[in-house]
Structure 1
Amino acid sequence: MEVSARAPGKIIISGEHAVVHGSTAVAAAIDLYTTASIRISEGDDGLLELQLKDTGLVFSWPIQRIKEMFSELGVPLSSSSPSSSPELMKLISILVEEQNIPEAKSGLASGVSAFLWLYTSIHGFKPAAVSITSDLPLGSGLGSSAAFCVSLAAAMLASSGALGLDFNHHGWLALGESELELVNKWAFGGEKIIHGKPSGIDNTVSTFGNMIMFRSGKLTRIKSNMPLRMLITNTKVGRNTKALVAGVSERACRHPDAMDAVFTAVDSISKELATIIQSPASDEISITNQEDKLEELMEMNQGLLQCMGVSHSSIETVLRTTLKYKLASKLTGAGGGGCVLTLLPKLLSGTVVDEVIAELESCGFQCLIAAIGGKGLEVCFGGDS
């Protein structure tokens, strides 16, 4: 039987960079998903296959080869809790290197390693075919690696019986709190393989959905009570997140008082934004009032991100374009390229949205429209996905 799981991407609505310096950040799930499907085969031989549908790449390993390597090194398999020993990761890196990933796609190697770690830890040595499809552009700050890890961990745990789900259920199935906690732990392990020291924000938002407030290592889940739609513009400009984070820290060392004031202001913006989003809006007038406040907060946050030195000419182009249509935008994530958010008010006409998108796409950008603060992880059995 085939088991599928889908997990959403994420955006940071406010607080990126400042969060490293003790400010509050707010992140939210978006209704753009990564889906992992898994079909386990019977028997002891055969292949473990990973198909990355969007890149057209297929990786495969003979199960016997994996088995032999693991037994040679005497690597124990732990399926009860996520842990990865240096010996195990060394072995996995050999299996990944043997795949000869093309130079242009070398960034995928860490994801393939996370896949092998998750699969062998949860399923051991069973042949299987696993396929991945995604709505999320890679490496653009929309949480594509977390959605990859969450959907994979969920599909594997569900197919192993570890989540105790009803296999006869038709359609997408939301999971209970303890099942989500378990998936989140495994997904965080995968994120560590990909990113080294992830914050845990991305996988938590992808697993539980809705929104999260994050401050000094503490995550608080919050619920959106107003409909929110954003235009997400992918500038397609790659960036070095570590260098951007280091740049903000250097600026904070050179101008401690001024940058402290910047981080304090960002903290206030995040808290006010979270309060507005959690307040129920009963009619169009109150929704419009809340949207107006959110637009101002987004503009203020963008101005402070410029103070931190993480904007980029491609981001400024998006800001100028959306401003022509009286729309508020801000970068999301690391900056220096990546993606820009533009709030689409509820009463904004579809014609205006089409015009904005046409103008942005003529600059070579990619545009996606997403509902904000929606569902988290869901699982599906059989061919209903």
Structure 2
Amino acid sequence: MSLDKYIISAPGKVILFGEHAVVHGKTAIAGSLDGLRTYALFEKRIDGYLELNLPDLGLQHAFLWQTSELPYNLVNNIETKDGPQNLQFNDILLHKIKSIVSNGKDDQEINHIQQIAALTFLYLYTCLKNNSQTLWDGMTICVRSNLPIGSGLGSSASYSVCLATGLLLGFGYISYENNEKQEIKKSSELINLWAYQAEKVIHGTPSGVDNSVATFGKTQSLRFLLTNTKVPRHTKTLVENVRTRLENFPKIVNLILDAIHGISESFKEILEKEISHPSLDKVREIAAQYDLHTKLTGAGGGGCAITLIRNDVSKEQIEIIKKALNASPHCFECYETSIGGYGVSVLDTCIDINLKEFLECEKNKLTEIIGWKYFV
């Protein structure tokens, strides 16, 4: 069955242990966030145009391109149905797409995050459309998210997974209707592989953990308080700083990475049996006053902290802690959530929502209004 409109949803993530070590081949423990997700509305067009709406990134007007201007001739000759396991990242294609991302827009109208989001979409679209026999000649996409951007919660991976899933569906490489376990597994793996290509556009050398969590979801359920310090941080820069230290002081840094690896492995055993910043330290200090334990998540240097909530902690106690974290001068932003939510999912047009309604929907109402029905 070919759809003309559908909604894709993918969760954010938290890394409990091994944030930096995982980039260097060590173990990390991560889980999908329950309720903090990205949503993307895909709608078929036949006029040869691509429209990308990014209202939560502060973009006042949609990106608009003609499908005919994309450099399909630069796409490597691949068999998409087998996945891009052996696909070399196409720097030539990426460079060419960079030159057309801002088509019709003044440089002052768009910021770096908006440019990267558009570049990622066009890169995937060009690669996947090249081998597709679909009748889709263009599409309108609107992306919404209740994930804070640049806070270590996997917002870029959630976005990448939504794009990969929507394009693979639109171009006929996967189907959401086939409920056989083997086909679901095959579709999920294909989504994850293409989402990883998108993450390369955004981060350069991602570990692959974020897109895997956003695709497959699930983990052992843990309840916690997530606190956004609102201190901006740039994952790519923080990861490169660690890489530089590893190159300059390999013996020392490898010992640290091995120690982090050991912590992650120990936590795995516990589950089977049953780089900081002053703001993150402040979250830990406040939570400790209530006998709760906190750590950073993501690359550090700001972003978010996670505080484990034991079963004996009452709702009233949680509200008191949140009030303390929200209070001046910190003004942190708290989310009461858990890990172990569903991975990427698809909702067909049985939900009657149009582009205007989707654009105007309040971010905190996305989950309530949209929900999901079909899991890829």
Deviation at 1:153, TM superposition (A): 1.0
Paired residue type of 1:7: A
* Percentage of identical aligned residues: 37
Paired residue type of 2:309: L
Partner of residue 370 from structure 1, selected from 337, 353, 356: 337
Q: SS of the residue aligned with 1:54?
A: helix
Residue 197 of structure 1: aligned partner: 205
Residue 207 of structure 1: aligned partner: 215
Paired residue type of 1:184: N
Give the conservation status (yes or no) of the 8 Å contact 1:77–1:120.
no
Residue 54 of structure 2: aligned partner: 52
CA–CA distance in 1 between the matches of 2:166 and 2:10?
Answer: 10
Residue 280 of structure 2: aligned partner: 315
CA–CA distance in 2 between the matches of 1:121 and 1:178?
Answer: 19
RMSD of aligned residue pairs (Cα, Å): 3.0
CA–CA distance in 2 between the matches of 1:160 and 1:249?
Answer: 38
Deviation at 1:25, TM superposition (A): 1.6
Give TM-score, length-normalised by structure 1: 0.77
CA–CA distance in 1 between the matches of 2:225 and 2:267?
Answer: 18
Residue 270 of structure 1: aligned partner: 264
Structure 2 matches for 1:1-385, cutoff 5 A?
1-20=4-23, 23-31=26-34, 32-42=36-46, 45-57=47-59, 58-63=61-66, 66-68=67-69, 70=71, 74-75=73-74, 80-81=79-80, 82=84, 85-98=90-103, 99-100=105-106, 102=108, 105-123=111-129, 126-166=137-177, 176-211=184-219, 224=220, 227-242=221-236, 244-245=238-239, 248=242, 262-280=256-274, 310-362=275-327, 363-384=330-351, 385=370
Q: How many residues end up aligned between the 2 structures?
A: 332
Closer, same or farther: CA 21–133 of 1 in aligned 2, 3 Å: closer
Deviation at 1:366, TM superposition (A): 1.4
CA–CA distance in 2 between the matches of 1:251 and 1:189?
Answer: 26
Structure 1, gaps ≥5 residues long: 212-223, 281-309
CA–CA distance in 2 between the matches of 1:85 and 1:261?
Answer: 35
Structure 1 window deviating more from structure 2 (98-107 vs 271-280): it is 98-107
Structure 2, gaps ≥5 residues long: 131-135, 352-369, 371-376
CA–CA distance in 1 between the matches of 2:122 and 2:244?
Answer: 38
Paired residue type of 1:314: S
Give the conservation status (yes or no) of the 8 Å contact 2:14–2:33.
yes
Deviation at 1:263, TM superposition (A): 3.9
Give the conservation status (yes or no) of the 8 Å contact 1:79–1:122.
no
Q: SS of the residue aligned with 1:272?
A: helix
Q: SS of the residue aligned with 1:140?
A: coil
Give the conservation status (yes or no) of the 8 Å contact 1:79–1:123.
no
CA–CA distance in 2 between the matches of 1:250 and 1:118?
Answer: 30
Deviation at 1:85, TM superposition (A): 3.5
Report Cα offsets for 1:12-47 as digits up to 9, x if no partner.
Answer: 1012223456642211111211111100123xx353
Give the conservation status (yes or no) of the 8 Å contact 2:13–2:154.
yes
Deviation at 1:250, TM superposition (A): 6.8
Report Cα offsets for 1:257-293 as digits up to 9, x if no partner.
Answer: 776664444333212212222344xxxxxxxxxxxxx
CA–CA distance in 1 between the matches of 2:151 and 2:77?
Answer: 33
Give the conservation status (yes or no) of the 8 Å contact 1:47–1:60.
no
Report Cα offsets for 1:297-334 as digits up to 9, x if no partner.
Answer: xxxxxxxxxxxxx2211111111110111110001111
Q: SS of the residue aligned with 1:230?
A: strand
Deviation at 1:182, TM superposition (A): 0.8
CA–CA distance in 1 between the matches of 2:50 and 2:249?
Answer: 54
Give TM-score, length-normalised by structure 2: 0.78
Deviation at 1:68, TM superposition (A): 4.1
